[in-house]
């Protein structure tokens, strides 16, 4: 064997032995505690209560999930404490959902934690985040009798589905993106535990890294439309103040265009095209009459316009901009655009709202 071949052979052996050593350092899946859901509750400005759920795949396990709670001042310090209680090395590689208590979010600690998770190489950017009205720990420890296990139930709850009534799902990537965007404020789903069922109740609204308020599910749908979401499963409206005329639309398609003119006296122009299948109707109109259908479309457009205007005025009052209405101005602006500038424009903004509605597939409705 020549010297060069001898050197090559030794190099290959060293590489192979190195790979074997590295693989040997990796624990097997059976020895890992794979966290699927994590929850954080506020204690004080320096400490938090961290709760995690880990699926238990072993057939002999009494429960399908293991729940562990620790008090800690740092995420990875908490993971070490959880590992000691689980008798396994815990990992965030299978993390799917992170829940934060409302108090934790209002104190501004959620932003810091989401940014930390976003930078963690083990955590996927597609992990969902949500705000819990009361206690995240309580939600994770609750027994859900009709569900296979808590981990799967919570994970499935935040998955995008065509027929989800309200789906304002937010990932850690989207949260961090909005927090660093001076044009619009951050949103996240707001959930509540009622009668042993988790309900998505609306949107939590953030400003300067802190949760400020909540919007209802219906307001949240309007925000989703104005943010550019083109498909919604269901959209219901009450057309009169007495509640005698109601419509419900399914398979809704929307297209919103938002532009702003004049930075000194900003005017926001919103053009919205709205199309949906009329699945339910309560009222005195004859849906077999084309003239009544046209009048109904006009009433729906007028109602949507009114609700959008009310929402935008509410945003002005709260000094929250969840839509990104001033993007067209920023594109032409020379210099750095700041969050303060967005707030100033929002305070002075006037709104022109145009809605066009097309009702399709009208059958024999009451």
Note the CATH number of domain 228-366: 3.30.300.210
Contact by Cβ (8 Å): 39, 69: no
To the nearest whole number, what is the mean pLDDT of the chain? 86
pLDDT at 2: 59
Q: Exposure string (b/e) for 262-274, b if CB count within 10 Å is 16 or more?
A: eeeebebbbebeb
Spell out the domain ranges in the chain.
30-215, 228-366
Q: Count CB atoms within 10 A of the CB of residue 67.
A: 17
On the question of pLDDT at 193 being above 60, the answer is yes
When mean pLDDT is compared over 70-79, 167-176, 236-245, the highest value belongs to 70-79
The residues, any chain, with a CB within 8 Å of residue 254's CB and separated by 6 or more, are 225, 229, 230, 231, 232, 272, 273, 274, 275
Calculate mean pLDDT across residues 257-278: 91
124-145 pLDDT, tens digit per residue, is 999 999 999 999 999 999 988 8
39-92: per-residue pLDDT in tens? 999 999 999 999 999 987 655 556 678 899 999 999 989 999 998 888 778 889
Handedness of CA 144, 149, 153, 154 (dihedral sign): positive
User: 290: Cβ–Cβ under 8 A, 6 or more apart, which residues?
Assistant: none
pLDDT of residue 24: 45
**What's the whole-model pTM score?**
0.85
Write the CB contacts of 123 (distance below 8 Å, at least 6 apart in sequence). 92, 93, 95, 117, 172
pLDDT band at 149 (very low <50, low <70, confident <90, very high): confident
Q: How confident is the model at residue 224 (pLDDT cuts 50, 70, 90)?
A: confident
Structure tokens at 182: 């001076």
The confidence score (pLDDT) of residue 195 equals: 86
Query: Looking at residue 21, what is its pLDDT?
Result: 40
- Quick: pLDDT tens for 1-52: 555 555 555 554 444 444 444 444 455 555 678 899 999 999 999 999 999 9
Which residues are bridge partners to 222 per DSSP?
none
Specify the higher pLDDT residue, 228 or 300: 300
pLDDT at 306: 95
Distance in angstroms (rounded) separating the CA atoms of residues 163 and 235: 11
User: Is pLDDT at 165 greater than 60 in this prediction?
Assistant: no
| Predicted local distance difference test score (pLDDT) of residue 169 | 85
Element at 313 (helix H, strand E): helix 290-318
What pLDDT is stored for residue 82 in this prediction?
92
Round to whole Å and give the CA distance between 87 and 209.
Answer: 36
Judged by DSSP in three states, 295 sits in helix
Could you give phi then psi for residue 309, rounded to 5 degrees? -60, -45
């Amino acid at each position: 064997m020549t010297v060069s071949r001898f050197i090559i052979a030794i190099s290959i052996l060293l590489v192979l032995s190195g790979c074997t050593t590295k693989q040997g350092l990796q624990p097997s899946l059976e020895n890992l505690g794979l966290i699927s859901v994590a929850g954080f509750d506020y204690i004080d400005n320096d400490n938090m209560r961290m709760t995690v759920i880990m699926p238990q795949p072993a057939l002999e396990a009494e429960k399908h999930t293991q729940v562990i709670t620790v008090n800690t001042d740092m995420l990875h310090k908490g993971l070490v404490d959880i590992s000691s209680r689980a008798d396994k090395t815990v990992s965030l590689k299978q993390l799917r959902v992170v829940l934060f208590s409302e108090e934790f979010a209002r104190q501004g600690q959620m932003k810091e934690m989401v940014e930390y998770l976003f930078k963690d190489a083990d955590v996927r950017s597609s992990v969902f985040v949500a705000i819990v009205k009361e206690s995240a720990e309580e939600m994770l420890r609750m027994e859900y009798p009709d569900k296979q296990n808590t981990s799967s139930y919570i994970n499935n709850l935040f998955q995008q589905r065509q027929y989800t009534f309200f789906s304002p799902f937010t990932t850690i990537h989207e949260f961090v993106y909005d927090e660093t965007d001076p044009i619009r404020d951050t949103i996240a789903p707001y959930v509540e535990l009622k009668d042993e069922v988790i309900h998505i109740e609306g949107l939590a609204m953030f400003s300067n890294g802190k949760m400020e308020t909540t919007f209802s599910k219906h307001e949240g749908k309007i925000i989703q439309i104005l943010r550019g979401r083109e498909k919604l499963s269901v959209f219901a409206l009450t057309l009169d103040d007495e509640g005698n005329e109601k419509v419900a639309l399914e398979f809704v398609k929307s297209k919103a265009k938002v532009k702003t003119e004049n930075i000194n006296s900003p005017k926001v122009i919103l053009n919205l095209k709205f199309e949906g299948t009329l699945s339910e109707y309560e009222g005195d109109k004859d849906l077999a009459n084309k003239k009544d259908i046209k009048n109904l479309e006009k009433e729906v457009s007028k109602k949507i316009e009114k609700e959008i205007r009310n929402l935008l005025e509410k945003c002005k009052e709260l000094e929250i901009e969840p839509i990104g209405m001033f993007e067209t101005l920023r594109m032409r602006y020379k210099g750095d655009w700041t969050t303060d500038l967005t707030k100033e424009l929002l305070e002075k903004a006037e709104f022109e709202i145009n809605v066009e509605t097309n009702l399709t597939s009208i059958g024999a409705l009451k």
